[in-house]
Structure 1
């Protein structure tokens, strides 16, 4: 308590710039330990209120245990965001239920990860009632998955937009707000555009908890929708106000969306040791934790100012198809698909030709100037 025995307040002597303990300073807290598994198939059923996914666990369709080394936190985060992008596209004609189940079959079961894993490894017999219990415990509602997916997707788009504005790439931030097929993007960059109504303070409020942040965003979005104004020409990404000046405030807003994590002792099967780890119940816990680590490991603005390239290991969107990827090098801007690589090579060739043409024109101009000087020189 910061009070003495007389009830007088005693100011803290802690140096907030140095007295924050990181994971390395407190014995490895900050690890991420989870046990992935996936079912061979799911049944989808409608109970009158919700669509539910029912995992199939029976002889001939046994659960699969992926290699831990191939299913990373960043991999899960990227695939979930790309799933959301497809689901949210108006061009997509595949039902969201099928896309979600397909993701689960290709990656891992999404909910009650540790609990169901313990059921599958502790004297599990697929020929007994054990299999029925696993099937029952693995049921999840599609709406729950969609709600979790939408929150994560919007937060990651916000993160990618903030990364972009550091390098004067404003297209993602400019187009962040808007309604997709299922998800509505954040409106935090709308106030920086040329033609946006000024939202009254009583509409925005002063949100602090995540649920109040969401309510504030919804009120702001509704006000903007009810007060339309003339927009800039299509294809323009020109902001009227300098959003970079508010980068710290915007980044804090993003941090407020990150949920809290509970820590507990968990057995690391790779080492056989118990370690402090985040308590994981779903793939979304893994994704949120991964995003939080990415944000915490971002270089400071001072360090970025001395580097004209983005750091590797961060999430970006492919410059051609918009797919989410983890940057493998500090120069990567395109995904590995054949089509996007063709576009990348075409842009490189175009830039090369333009550079050579510019160099040729500059050389010709120097020759003309030299020739002119020699012509005007007295004999």
Structure 2
């Protein structure tokens, strides 16, 4: 059944045995999530990893990405509390606005309006105060991560002598070319990162390093990763099953070993059942939340107000220009009513302008809503955008602003 491992999940007993027999490869998504949980959960997670210390191995690329992103990972959690409070405040303002409209249309006097709004204001105030109190449980600050990082210290002990070497320069250049080829042709892993401006080769690089290590040790490979994008795992009805068939075949061809992939929460559950290490329900819950948040974090952008304002100005100008072009095309369309061929061409042109106008209107609305819910990091805004095209376009402006580039996307 092993050749079909892409299509079924490992049972708990199988996972416990695999952890004893396999090269256990940890992805940076797991290491960075240690910065996004409470101190108690972090302690239990690290103790769980220590149970398989003898089999753990980390590709050089994973270690590199961890060091590059660990400060930002801590900042993620700090921003999360601010974002939550901001979202609650926005919801409160919207609810109060609706109550004000109701009170005015119902001709309520001042005292009745106050009695109507007070329970809502009290409830939101209590919720926001509770969120802020929980923020005090989180023990990491940017200063502590920079100067006395407890996660870094724990991982230094866990991974001492268990981090791979970088690829030689010639092999690295070849791997970069292969990564680009795979992105262009949707060959896993890594093609889901084709829109990334930074480190688009990362997934393939650490996969290549893992293939080399697997061929050397000739042991089954078990990857623990919270990256559950479709270029890594096989999904059915949005449920992750096993690794992509292409990855199973590639590692068998290159190293003649089996491959499995599990997320960190699944690993923790196995440790809880199979060892004496304590893994609380709260820790499992935080691991699952961190896993689900990984995709959401990928849609987050840290942007300055200047970039937002510049983009809005661009979108407004684009709307005005497209509106003028639409008017001109519709005027020509009316004159060409007796010419079927010309009318068909103009119909297409009109539809193209209308689509563009709808897109810019949608982008402006989504951006303004995202900004209204944004939290702040010093002078920047932390916003979430679901529209991939809008997100890529705004990211392009962010990078151009950093590099002093062009004004328009």
TM-score of Structure 1 vs Structure 2, range by shorter chain: under 0.3
The structure where helix makes up a greater share of residues is: 2
The structure, 1 or 2, with the larger RCO (C-alpha pairs under 8 Å, 6+ apart) is 2
Q: What is the TM-score when the length of structure 2 is the normalising length?
A: 0.23
